[in-house]
Amino acid sequence: MTRHALVTGAGSGIGKAIALRLAADGHIVSLAGRRAAPLEAVRGDILAAGGQAFVRDGFDVTNPQAVEQGITAAIAEAGEIAVLVNCAGEAPSAPFEKTDFALWQRVLSINLTGVYLVTQAALASVRRAGNGRIVNVASTAGLTGYAYVSAYCASKHGVIGLTRALALELARTDVTVNAVCPGFTDTPLIDGALDTISEKTGRSREEARASLARSNPQGRLVTPEEVAHTVSWLVSEKATAITGQAIAVAGGEVLGG
């Protein structure tokens, strides 16, 4: 049976890779994000491959009204949401002493409160769909600490805490809740980190990229597709007993979860 998956932050990077993977698995995918153009491009790729997808632009995860409207429209268009993937996020960097309240509030609002708002709006539908799956894209920053991204680390630790709490609340239902925790991943999001490293250290972007790759014991950046394959498994029937977990996709950088 074809199932409906909604992916936030689906226009690029890890969200795009997840959307493509789920479509290839046979899901109808609602592509949620703020801007239409990148979502339409992803939809084009899905349609070209023989899949089904709908665009839900104007989906601002920090805006409760926009989230409610987007979820309602997605259900009307593609049926109950059986799979919810929260992937929208951002990762600005700054020393803690220069992390002003506006930066702190923005990062927490997108990365953590956004997961809360979208999940709360979609949960009734996920339960109605049966055998529901919720996957939150966190980060190794939710399992350990990194300098100069205190707001990001705090937000991702919060995502993992929320994941575990909700998993326990829903343990006696047929809904599972898990987090995936990518390490440094080769996406557009990492470009900002490379710019910051280059600016602060005087190293080239290539040198900055190499320094990030060295944090992975495998000596490389993770690919978005590797994260997407992990999500694909978590939402499958083979992962029914997996809930409340924070699975690192990081080449051994972080051990345990």
220 contact partners, CB below 8 Å, separation of at least 6: 213, 251
- In the set 116, 146, 148, 152, the catalytic residue is 152
DSSP state at residue 220: S
Handedness of CA 230, 236, 239, 242 (dihedral sign): positive
User: Which DSSP string corresponds to 74-110?
Assistant: HHHHH-SEEEEEE-------B-GGG--HHHHHHHHII
Beta carbons of 26 and 234 less than 8 angstroms apart: no
Residue 116 annotated to the active site: no
Nearest to 185 by CA among 118, 246, 253, 126: 253
CA distance 114 to 104: 14
Given phi > 0 = left and psi -120 to 50 = alpha, else beta, which region is 31?
beta
Locate 191 and state its tokens. 């470009």
Taking the C-alpha atoms of residue 250 and residue 27, their distance in angstroms, rounded to an integer, is 26
Residue 144 structure tokens: 């350990």
Residues facing 94 on adjacent strands:
149
Active-site residue numbers? 152
